[in-house]
Amino acid sequence: MYKNLSSRTARIVRALIEVLKPRKPGFDPPIEDEMLEVVDDFISHLPSHMKLLLPLGLYLLEYGTLIFVPSLKPFSKMSLEKREKYMLSWTESKMALRRDLIKGIKAICMTGFYAHPEIMKHIGYDLEEHLKRINVTEEPTVACNEEACAYFKKLEEEGRWGPAAGEPGRIKEKSE
C-alpha cells in the first residue's frame, strides 16, 4: 500500500505512467510499480498545500475527460491510445494550470524512470563514477575569487550590498 497516495490517485498515476514511460523495442522493463513508489515517496516531501492540491489536480486529469474530450470514460479507464491523445491535449493546452500539472507529474514520474538501476545501466550511466567525478575531497585553497571578494566587500562598506543595502542580493545604486 502507499503512504501518500489513495487507491484512486494511485490508479490515476499508474495510468499516467503507462502513457509517459518510454518504450524501446527489445527493452521495456516492467518498472511501473517502482515509478509509482517514487511518486508516492516524492509526495511526502511536498509542502502541505501541495499535498492537498496534487490529488485535486489528479482528479481533474481523471474526470476532465467529461469536459475536455468529451468522453464518459475517466482517464484511467481509457485505452492507451486515447490516454496519449488526451495527455497531448494537456501538454498543448492554452490553460497554464493543465500544462503545469502535467509538467510537474511528468517530472516526478520520469525521475522514477531514470533513477531505476536497469534504466541507468541501459543508458550507460554509472552513478558511483559520476559521484566520484563531482565530489571534491580536498578543501579549496581560496574560498572564492579574491577579486570578486574584494569587490563585494567594497560594496558592503559603501552600504550598497548586503543588509545595509536593504535587500539581500541586490546592488543599491549610489545616490548623487
Residue 1 inside a domain? The answer is: no
pLDDT of residue 160: 73
96 with 162, same domain: the answer is no
pLDDT digits (tens, 9 = 90+) for 80-126: 999 999 999 999 999 999 999 999 999 999 999 999 999 999 999 99
Residue 131 inside a domain? The answer is: no
48 with 93, same domain: the answer is yes
pLDDT of residue 164: 56
pLDDT of residue 139: 60
> Within the chain, which residues score under 70 in pLDDT?
136-144, 161-176
pLDDT of residue 144: 64
142 with 73, same domain: the answer is no
Residue 108 inside a domain? The answer is: yes
Provide the domain limits for residue 94.
7-126
The 3-state DSSP class for residue 138 equals: coil
Tell me which residue of 146, 15, 149, 22 sits closest to 76, measured CA to CA: 15
Residue 2 inside a domain? The answer is: no
What is the pTM assigned to this prediction? 0.72
Structural domain count of the chain: 2
Q: Are 90 and 61 a contacting pair, CB within 8 Å?
A: yes
pLDDT of residue 137: 62
pLDDT of residue 133: 77
Q: Which three cell numbers stand for residue 93?
A: 493546452
Torsion of CA 91, 95, 97, 99, to 10 degrees: 10
Residue 93 inside a domain? The answer is: yes
pLDDT of residue 135: 74
74 with 119, same domain: the answer is yes
